């Protein structure tokens, strides 16, 4: 029984991986095929990016603040507080910014995508599109992919800036570090390679989150309960994918730069 159960889970995982790969290939092809649904791209960008500004800002600002506090209080004898700009900026830009934005914002937009497509699937709107000769991937998935690939890196850059400013607020307001010292340390520590590494990760995260969310939405079945299960699966799987891929992307970018 346990072997058959394990084999069934393995087959299910293989089928899901294959389906994700096929959907990713179809979405990438649709990305370069005309006509382009520019209005749909803009509408999805507003839905995905603009409405996620608040949660991205809160997440990264307080991350920078906590990072500055923990660094200064953990190693006071080493005078680390005079190098807070380096610690906060490197940590936020290379790692915490892209990962936290992908987890928090990606969870929000991924759940929304799955719920939207899953509802269309269980109410047979996807089948109606196919019956009219329209490609659901081109009409529904590609605009979401374009918007996420555009807005998630933009939110990451904004989050990096806010995280550094959060560290500045704590450094000057609580730790008695001059703002000029902090900002000079940030400017001296950050490099284009740091920014390229963090933003580069966000493109991969955006692709993974969108593909997983849309696949689960298109595979949803069983009414409202099935849509709920698909949404939960999206949040869990996309979060795991972001964390696992972050390790390999970190190794890749360190080897490149």
Q: What is the pLDDT of residue 76?
A: 66
What value does the mean pLDDT take over residues 130-158? 91
**Is 158 buried (19+), middle (13-18) or exposed (0-12) by CB count in 10 A?**
middle
Which one has a higher pLDDT value, 102 or 47? 102
Average pLDDT rounded to a whole number, residues 49-60: 90
Q: What is the pLDDT of residue 77?
A: 62
Mean pLDDT for 103-112 is 90
In three-state form (DSSP H/G/I as H, E/B as E, the rest C), the secondary structure along the chain is: CHHHHHHHHHHHHHHHHHHHHHHHHHHHHHHHCCCCCHHHHHHHHHHHCHHHHHHHHHHHHHHHHHHHHHHHHHCHHHCHHHHHHHHHHHHHHHHHHHHHHHHHHHHHHHHHHHHHHHHHHHCCHHHHHHHCCCCHHHHHHHHHHHHHHHHHHHHHHHHHHHHHHHHHHHHHHCCCCCHHHHHHHHHHHCCHHHHHHHHHHHHHHHHHHHHHHHHHHHCCCCHHHHHHHHHHHHHHHHHHHHHHHHHHHHHHHHHHC
Give mean pLDDT, residues 146-173: 93
The span from the CA of 53 to the CA of 50, in Å, is 5
Rounded to 5°, angle at Cα 213 from 212 and 219: 90
- Tokens (6 digits) for 136: 């659901």
CB 196 within 8 A of CB 257: yes
Q: Residue 84's pLDDT is what? A: 86
Structure confidence at residue 5 as a pLDDT band (50, 70, 90) = low
pLDDT band at 1 (very low <50, low <70, confident <90, very high): very low
- Amino acid 57: pLDDT: 92
* Average pLDDT rounded to a whole number, residues 47-69: 90
- Report the range of poorest mean pLDDT among 75-84, 88-97, 167-176, 210-219: 75-84
Q: What percent of the chain has pLDDT over 90?
A: 49
Sorted by where each begins, the domain ranges of the chain are 2-256
Whole-number pLDDT of residue 4? 55
Predicted local distance difference test score (pLDDT) of residue 102 = 94
Q: What is the pLDDT of residues 202-255, one digit of tens each?
A: 999 999 999 999 999 999 888 888 899 999 999 999 999 999 999 999 999 988
pLDDT of 3 > 70? The answer is no
């Amino acid at each position: 029984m346990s072997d058959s159960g394990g084999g069934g889970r393995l087959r299910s995982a293989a089928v899901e991986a294959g389906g994700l790969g096929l959907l990713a290939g179809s979405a990438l092809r649709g990305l370069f095929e005309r006509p382009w649904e520019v209005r749909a791209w803009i509408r999805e960008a507003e839905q995905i990016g603009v409405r996620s500004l608040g949660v991205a800002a809160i997440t990264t600002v307080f991350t920078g603040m906590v990072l500055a506090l923990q660094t200064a209080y953990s190693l006071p004898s080493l005078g680390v507080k005079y190098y807070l700009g380096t610690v906060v900026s490197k940590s936020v830009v290379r790692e915490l910014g892209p990962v936290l934005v992908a987890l928090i914002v990606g969870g929000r937009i991924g759940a929304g995508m799955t719920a939207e497509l899953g509802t269309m699937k269980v109410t047979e709107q996807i089948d109606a599109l196919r019956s009219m000769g329209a490609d659901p991937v081109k009409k529904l998935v590609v605009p979401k992919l374009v918007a996420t690939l555009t807005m998630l890196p933009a939110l990451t850059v904004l989050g990096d800036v806010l995280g550094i400013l959060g560290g500045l607020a704590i450094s000057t307001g609580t730790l008695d570090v001059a703002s000029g010292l902090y900002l000079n340390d940030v400017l001296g520590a950050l490099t284009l390679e740091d920014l390229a590494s963090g933003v580069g990760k966000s493109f991969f995260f955006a692709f993974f989150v969108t593909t997983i969310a849309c696949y689960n939405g298109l595979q949803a079945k069983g009414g409202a309960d099935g849509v709920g299960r698909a949404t939960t699966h999206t949040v869990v799987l996309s979060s795991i994918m972001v964390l696992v891929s972050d390790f390999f992307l970190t190794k890749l970018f360190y080897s490149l730069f």
